[in-house]
A = this chain, B = another copy of it.
Amino acid sequence: MQVISEIRHDDGVLEREFTLGEIPGTLWTPGSTPAPLVLMAHNNGLPRNQSRLVARARQSAAYGYAVATIDAPGCGDRPRSAADEKARADIRRAMQAGEPVDEIFESFIGPLVEKAVPEWRTTLDALLVLPEIGGPVGYSGWTAVGIRLAVTEPRIAAAGLFAGGYVPRAQREEARQVSIPLLFLLQWDDEGNPRQRALDLFDAFGTKEKTLHANMGGHVGTPYFEVEDGNRFFGRHLK
């Protein structure tokens, strides 16, 4: 793990850009350490420097968590293949034309999840040896990757998942095997993410300790207090 740059923010949070082989990432650590770690990913591989994710990560770090994110293959700062570019163009075209996008998402997001999950586990290996990180690990954000990690990575103790994003069929099946505590966050009128599908997924999760929070509005309308609720959720489980 190679640190590329670091900034100490006014609230005491240390922000470090790093690379781990070809994986670029960011780690935010609070003023007081060792801190429990939260892996934070955006649905469908949105770039790790996306402003909403960065704001969320910094707020959770100021609250007392170490927060890490990486770019998925072909996303953010990473090179895109011709196939990636074509898939993205297909999605944009279908959405603009109001055509069904499920099959295009399935063929793009399905393999992306398969590639992203081993990289998150590699990142976890590298982060857990740092002295400023301690305790059990939480996961936050991208639902499909979270499901996969929850059923394959025993070091993940709790997950906060955001319903607004395509969940491939394989992960919808795997949801029944999830047994860690979950907080599932739904935007009630999320354009392009059918509400009933999200409710069905919540129902399917195998864990007994799962909570759904639903708020009004579209995909990007999650109210600020849900970040606090997420921090408190992790506070109950990362001890």
Chain A contact residues, CB within 8 Å of chain B = 188, 199, 202-203, 208-217, 223, 225, 228-229, 232, 236
Q: Enumerate chain B residues within 8 angstroms of A223, measured Cβ to Cβ.
A: 211
Given A225-B236, A236-B225, A213-B215 contact (CB < 8 Å): no
B236/A214 in contact, CB under 8 A? no
Cβ contacts under 8 Å, A215 to chain B: 210-212
Q: Considering the chains assembled together, what is the distance between the CA atoms of A96 and B210 in angstroms?
A: 31
Contact, CB under 8 Å: A214 / B212: yes
What CA separation (Å) do A217 and B208 show in the bound complex? Answer: 8
Q: Assess whether A214 is in contact with B202, with CB atoms less than 8 Å apart.
A: yes
Docked-complex contact A209 and B213, CB < 8 angstroms: no
CB distance from A223 to the nearest CB of B (A): 8
Do A211 and B211 touch across chains, with their CB atoms under 8 A apart? no
Q: Is the CB of A214 within 8 A of B211?
A: yes
Q: Is the CB of A213 within 8 A of B210?
A: no
With both chains docked as a complex, state the minimum distance between the C-beta of A126 and any C-beta of chain B, in angstroms. 33
In angstroms, Cα B198 to Cα A199, docked, is 13
Contacts of A208 in B (CB 8 A): 216-217
Q: Which of B203, B211, B228 contacts A213 (CB 8 A)?
A: B211
CA distance A216 to B199 in the complex (A): 13
Shortest A97–chain B CB gap in Å is 29
A212 near B211 with CB under 8 A, answer: no
17 of the cross-chain contacts (CB-CB < 8 Å) are A188-B212, A199-B199, A202-B214, A208-B216, A209-B216, A210-B215, A210-B216, A211-B214, A211-B215, A211-B223, A212-B212, A212-B213, A212-B214, A213-B213, A214-B214, A225-B232, A225-B236
